[in-house]
Amino acid sequence: MKCPLETREDREILVAYSSRALNAGDAGRLEAHLESCAACAEFVRGQRAVWEALDGWEAAPVSAGFDRRLMARIAGQASWRERLRGRLGMLLVYRALPATAVAALVVVGVMLERPSPPSVPQRAKAQVEALQPDQVVRALDEMEVLDQFNHRMKPDSSAPEM
């Protein structure tokens, strides 16, 4: 077997072997090489030491209120979006009133002048009105998702896990 330390590409075999991720066939061939190559044997010893040192680093348990905090943030965000959507809706209505009045006057004027099919401003108004049920459906969907999430997460299930 060619010495893995000779090329950078082959060195990963030593890393894989040290982390016990090498398949049995390759591991066997490498072990035979390690018996006669002090440099590779030293590399593997050092790598195993790193691996074991990292093994000793355990992560702390997750705090008990993690899910509750996340749920509150999601709920807060949803209600914020609903409030914003409501305000934008109101704004749209208030903004739309003068525009609609102007559009209506234009339409009336045009109709008096020359009877014709519905004008563009009327279509625009219809689109604004058509958006409202869609917004309501989306808000209801969001509330339903949160309700299901709440139902599933009570009581808080963020049990510590290592």
* Total binding residues toward another protein, as defined by CB under 8 A: 49
Amino acid at 95: R
Q: By three-state DSSP, how is residue 20 classified?
A: coil
Q: Which is nearer to another protein, 66 or 111 (CB)?
A: 66
51 touches another protein (CB under 8 A): yes
The CA-based angle 158-156-139, given to 5 degrees, is: 110
CB contact at 8 A, 43 and 14:
yes
**Shortest distance, CB of residue 48 to another protein, whole angstroms?**
7
Q: Which is nearer to another protein, 130 or 159 (CB)?
A: 159
Sequence-distant (6+) residues with CB within 8 A of 85 are 135, 139
What residues make contact with another protein under the rule CB under 8 A?
8-9, 11-12, 15, 19, 43, 45-54, 56-57, 59-67, 69-70, 73-74, 77, 141, 144-153, 157-158, 160-162
